[in-house]
Chain A
Amino acid sequence: MSEKVEELEAREEYEMTILDRVSDRIIDAFASFINIFKKDWRRRNQSKIKEWKLMAYAMNRSPPALLGLFIVIIYIILGIFGPYMAPWSYDFFPVNYNFSTQLAPPGSTYFLNVTTIENGYIVHYTTNIHYLLGSDVYGRDVVSILLAGARTAFVLDIFIILIGPTIGIILGLISGYYGGKVDETIMRITDMFLAFPGLILAIALSAVLPTRIQNFLNAHTWAQTLMLKLFALHARDVNNLGKLLAVFVALVIVWWPGYARVSRGSTLTEKENLYVEAARAVGLPTRTILFRHILPNIIGPILVMITMDFGGVILTEAGLSFLGLGAVPPIPDWGNLINQGSQYFPQAWWLVAFPGIVIVTVVLGWNLLGDGLRDVLDPRTRRSLEFKLKKKSKGGESSA
C-alpha cells in the first residue's frame, strides 16, 4: 500500500549537497525513531517529513544560519561536557598557595606549592599552572572558569526557556480561545508584568528570593543533590545554590508575559478558522483542540522567538551576575568574571574581554539561528527555494 502511494507521487529531484544528504539522514533517523513508538507514524506523516526535509534544505543554503547552528551546537556540547573538560577545578584557589597568581595576565605561568587536606590526609605537591587567558581575583584559570561557566549558563538557559515560555503559551492559548472574562483577567495580569521593567523585576526578585530558596533546599536533600549534579558543583557549594536558583525563578517570572501576549494574538485569529469549528463540532475535548490543532499552527513565530530568547536569557543572566546577584564565587559564571574584571579595569582587561567575547559569540549564534529559522519557517521563502532547487521534474524534462 505504502509503496503504491510513493509511486503515484511525481518524482522530484533536487540538486543536493552533502549537507542536504546529512540532514535527510538525520530527519529519516528521527522519523524511524518515532515509528518505533507510534505504529505507522512515518507513512501517515509523509508530507510532514517532506516539509521538514525541505526546511533543512533551505537552512543549508543560508550561511549565517549554519554559522549560528554551529555555534549553538558547540555551546550545547560545552554546556554538557564543559566542566569535565576544564583543566582546573573551579574551586581550586591558586591564590592560597602563591599570591602573585592573583590577576595573572594571559600567557603567564606560575609555580604552585600546594598543601591540601584530602580524605583526612595532608597532601603536598608542586605544580605549574599556565594561564592561557589570564586568571581571576582568586588566581583561577579563566579558561577553566569559562568552560565550567558554560554549564551554569546552559542549565539556567534551558530550564528558564522550558518553563517560562511554556507558561506563557498555555496562558495565551487559554486566554485567546475562551475570550471574555478569562481573557480579560489573564491579559490584565500580563499587562501588569509587561509594564514592569523586566530587568528591575528580575533584580528585585533575585535579591529577595535567595533566603527562601536556600531554606527550602536545606530542608530537602534530594533537591540539593539534584541541583549540585545539574550545575556540576561540589557539595561544599550547597549554600550558594539559593542565589543561583533565585535567578532562575526571577527569570521564569520575567519571561512568560511576552509569550502570553503573542500566543493569545495568534490564537484569536486562528480560532476563527473552520477546522477549529469542525473539531469542536466533532466533540473533541478543548485540550486536544488547543494543543493538537491550534498550537501547531501558531508555533512558527513562537519558535523563532524562543530561539532568540535562548540568547536573551544568557544576556540577562550574565547581567544579573555582573551586578553581583545570582552566581557568586566560587560558582563559575561568565557574568561574574566580568564583574570581577570591572573592578580592576583596565588592568585586568582579560576578565572583561574573554568572557565578553564568549557571551557575544553564543548570543550571536542563537540570534543567527533564530533569523535563519524565521526564513525557513516562512512558507513564501521556502516555496521560492523549492522552485530554485528543482533540477528536473518529469514535466520539465519532457518540455525541454
Chain B
Amino acid sequence: MVAGLGKFLVRRGLTFIPTLIGVTLIVFIIAYVIPANPVKAWAGGEKASQAAVEMIKKEYHLDQPWYDQYWFLVKGLFTNSLLDPLNQEPVFTNIGNRFIVTFQLALFAFLFVVIIGLPLGIISALKRNSATDMTLRILALIFISTPIYVIAYLFIWLFFLHWSTTTLAGIPPSPPHKITHVPVIDALLTLDWSNFVQQVERFWLPGFTLGIAAAGVLMRFTRNSFLEAYSRDSTLFLKAKGVPKGRLYRHVLKNALVPVITILALQFGGLLAGTPITETIFNLPGIGRYALQAIMYLDFPALIGVTFLYAIVFVTANLIADILYAIIDPRVRF
C-alpha cells in the first residue's frame, strides 16, 4: 500500500522550495514598489531624526542593492535574527506568540465546520430532491454568501449584547502546565476546568463566525460526494443483492467520506489563513491581525515573516491532502 509513497513524497516536497522562495519574493517585490519610505514610519513618523533613519537603514541593509536586501531578510528569517522594527522583537518570536491564538481560533472554527457541515450534508444527500434537501442546500448557499463582517455583528448583537453568553475582551491566560502549547487543549489535558470554560467562552463565537462559510462549503461537498458514491456500480450491485438500506448507506458513506477527509485538510489550512477580519472584529491578537498591522505600518520584515508562515501552512495542508489522496488512490502516485 505504501510502495512508491516515499518517492512521491520526495518529488512532491521538492516542488515546495520554489513555491516558498517565490512567496517571499512576492512580498519583497511589493515592498520594493512602494513609493513611500517605510523607514520614516518605523522610526516614528515624519518627525523622526535623520540619524535614527540612517541607523535603521543600515540595520536593515536598505542602503544596499536589492539582492543584498533580499538575502538579509531571508537569512534573518531562518536564523530568527530579523527584528520587527516596530517592537524590536525577532519576527518569528512575535509570530509564535500570536500563532497560538490563531491556531486555537481555527481549531474552534474547524470543530463547528465538522459538526455543522458533515451531518447536514449527509442528511441533504439522504433526502435528495426533497423539501429538506432544498432547504439545506439553500442554507448552505446562504452560509457561503454571508460575509464574516456581517455575520460577526449579527452574532455579537445576539450572543454578546442580548444573551451575554460570551466575552469579547482580552484573552484568558493559558494554563500553567504546557503540554501542546495550545491553551484549550492543555486545559483539557490537565483537567483545568475553570480555564477550559474561560477559553471556550472567549473563543467559541469567533470560531463559529469564522467557520460558518467553510461549513456551507463542506455541506455541499459532502452531499455531492455522497451522491457520487451512491451512483457507483458497486452500490447498484449491493442494491441488486438485496442488502438492507442501513447497510447500503453505511457502505456508501465509507466511500463518500474519502474525498471529504482530504478536503478537510485543505479547509483547516484555509481557516488558519482566513482570520484577519475575524481577529480584527473580535479583538484577538493573532497572526491575521499582525499581518494587517504590518501592512498598515509598512512593516515589511513582519509581513514577509507572516506570509512565509502562511505559505508553509498552505503547502503543508496541500501536502497532507495529497498524501491522504495518494494513500487512498494509488494511481496519483505515478
User: Interface on A for B, CB 8 Å cutoff?
Assistant: 64, 188-189, 191-197, 199-201, 203-205, 207-209, 211-212, 215, 311, 315, 318-319, 322-323, 335, 338, 341-342, 345-346, 349, 352, 356, 359-360, 363-364, 367-368, 371
Contacts and interface: CB of A to CB of B under 8 A. Distances in A.
A260 B18 CA distance: 18
A370 to B, nearest CB: 9
Interface stretch (B97-105, B177-185, B189-197, B288-296): B288-296
Interface in B1-37: 15, 18-20, 22-23, 25-27, 30, 33-36
Contacts of A364: 141-142, 145
Given A196-B307, A197-B274, A364-B142, A319 B26 contact: no
A349 B18 CA distance: 47
A126 B19 CA distance: 63
Contacts of B71: none
9 contacts: A64-B137, A192-B25, A197-B310, A199-B273, A203-B276, A208-B33, A211-B34, A315-B145, A360-B150
Contacts of B276: 199-200, 203, 323
Interface in B275-310: 276-277, 280-281, 291-292, 295-296, 298, 303, 306-307, 310
Contacts of A64: 134, 137-138
A311 B143 CA distance: 13
A319 B307 contact: no
B44 interface: no
B274 A315 contact: no
Could you say which of A197, A201, A346, A364 has the most chain B C-beta atoms within 10 Å of its C-beta?
A197
A197 B274 CA distance: 8
Contacts of A199: 273-274, 276-277
Contact of B281 (A311, A342, A349, A356): A342
A192 B22 contact: yes
A272 to B, nearest CB: 16
B156 A345 contact: yes
A189 B22 contact: yes
A318 B146 CA distance: 12
**Main SS class of interface, A:** helix
Contacts of A205: 30
Could you say which of A193, A208, A212, A319 has the most chain B C-beta atoms within 10 Å of its C-beta?
A208
Contact of A367 (B30, B141, B295): B141
Given A194-B314, A196-B307, A311 B145 contact: yes
Given A191-B18, A311-B145, A352-B153, 18 more contacts: A192-B22, A195-B311, A195-B314, A195-B318, A196-B26, A196-B307, A197-B274, A200-B310, A203-B295, A204-B303, A205-B30, A208-B34, A208-B298, A319-B148, A319-B149, A322-B149, A346-B157, A349-B153
Name the 9 nearest CB pairs between A and B, nearest first: A192-B22, A356-B150, A197-B273, A363-B145, A364-B145, A195-B311, A195-B314, A322-B149, A352-B153
A188 B134 contact: no
Contacts of B291: 200, 203
B171 to A, nearest CB: 21
A322 B277 contact: yes
A191 B19 contact: yes
B22 A360 contact: no
B273 A200 contact: yes
Nearest to A205: B30
Could you say which of B161, B274, B292 has the most chain A C-beta atoms within 10 Å of its C-beta?
B292
Contacts of A342: 149, 153, 281
A323 B161 contact: no
B147 interface: yes
A183 to B, nearest CB: 13
